[in-house]
Amino acid sequence: MNTAPAGRAADPDVIVAGGGIGGLSSAYALAVAGRRVRVLEQSPAFGEVGAGLQLGPNATRILREWGLLDEVVAAGVLPRRLVLKDALDGSELTHLDLGRGFQDRYGAPYVVIHRGDLLDILLRACKRAGVDLVPDAQVLAVQNGPDMAAAVTRQATHRGALVVAADGLWSTLRRGLSDDEPICSGYVAYRGAIPLSEAVELEGLSLGDVVVYVGPGRHFVQYTLRQGDMLNQVAVFASPAYQRGEADWGGPDELDTVFSACCRQVQYGAAKLGRERRWPMFDRLPVSTWVQGRLALTGDAAHPMLQYLAQGACQAIEDAWTLAAQAPPPGSDGQDEWRVALDAYQKLRTERTSQVQVTARSWGDLWHCDGLTRSIRNELLRDRNPADYKHVDWLYGKEVACGQMNLPV
């Protein structure tokens, strides 16, 4: 195999395996810290499949430090509120105001944006920073040593001081550190974004809010994207077929049946969802080992989580910021320098992301409860003071620490 692929620059300092949001975030953070970075993406082109995502202030503070927040805000929407409603009767349970008081408290805004738009912003930023972007280059293995690492593709071997595994939930590179497997929740998601002009007849549509309808074994999310020109919708439910042990589960017939018991707003919204593709929901249990030699995990390869805290992309951005902050300065590529840096990265991030992973599961249980538990939940949420931030300070706060290291303020 060649060690210097035709048309490529000299060997980089860091090789990133995976060109999604986590991989490009790490690449950009390391590049602006002075490192030569190469990203190897298995797909023929860099791109993101999906619809909307939410960025809390713990992530947008970092995007602002990177000089990218203005682009993100211009491409997205600044919602007024996060709203929880009951999926069965449509009543509002509680809300969190995302306006001036929220932004003053946490030092940055809450933004919703299309996944593809965020990826494009990161891709342009990486190009400006001189990141070497290589599509159609699936990393098959990593050669790991005390002083260097190499990412092996079918076409070439790419050598550097560090390989960052950003190859997602089904990471093959994680297998060198852990023998665990993704865990299926039995829930499935249908996602879609439609032009707002096609949603005008949807009853009770709240254009300025992120609205989550929570119900027994199901929830439904609505918010606008692209400066209000599109409506993003997500329907998630526990599949009866999965619970029966059937191989084919979570199909459109189940989607229609489950949401037929919901309020009219949810029924009308669900009818607008495409039926061509569905996403079974997986996560993994937290692990304490993200680093082996000169290989480090990041993003969903390190800490895949369920979506109930809307923190998947946010935690990947936190990973990127922390890794770049701990990396030794350019030219310091000795064994001791990187060992200390990677040990610190692992220590600073594993406790934080473990808390997010575990709490996301718990919030899912809260959203999807039924019977008496649902009644008690609804009463408690209706009694909540909307100015009470105690349940999100740990997640968004300016002084949220990665171990002993505070995120940007």
Asked if residue 152 belongs to a domain, the reply is yes
Q: Kindly write down the DSSP assignment for every residue of 185-216, as one continuous string.
A: EEEEEEEEEEEGGGGTT-TT--TTEEEEEEET
pLDDT for the residue numbered 206: 81
pTM reported for the whole predicted model: 0.95
Would you say residue 208 lies in a domain? no
- What pLDDT does residue 8 have? 56
Tell me if 147 is assigned to some domain.
yes
In a domain? residue 238: no
Give Cα separations from 329 to 31, 218, 323, 404 (angstroms): 11, 48, 12, 20
- The pLDDT of residue 336 is 87
Asked whether residue 34 is assigned to any structural domain, the reply reads yes
For residue 406, is pLDDT > 90?
no
Residue 67 included in any domain:
no
Q: Are 135 and 19 in contact (CB under 8 A)?
A: yes
Determine the structural domain holding residue 159 and report its residue range: 14-46+135-180+285-366
Angle (CA) 153 154 160, round 5°: 25
Look at residue 265 in the predicted model and tell me its pLDDT. 92
CATH number of the domain that residue 38 is part of: 3.50.50.60
Please check whether residue 64 lies inside any domain of the structure: no
Judged against a pLDDT cut of 50, whether residue 117 lies above it is answered with yes
Indicate the pLDDT class of residue 50, thresholds 50, 70 and 90: confident
Beta bridge partners of 152: 141, 157
Cβ neighbors of 63 (< 8 A, separation 6 or more) are: 55, 69, 72, 317
Which tokens in the block code for residue 169?
A: 């939930």
Mean pLDDT value across the chain: 93
**Mind listing the pLDDT tens digit for each residue in 277-293?**
999 999 999 999 999 99
Q: Give the pLDDT score at 405.
A: 52
- Confidence (pLDDT) at 400: 60
Number of domains in the chain: 1
Whether pLDDT at 220 is above 90: yes
On whether residue 354 sits in a domain, the answer given is: yes
The span from the CA of 50 to the CA of 193, in Å, is 9
CA 61, CA 39: separation in Å to the nearest integer? Answer: 24
**Mean pLDDT computed over 168-181:** 96
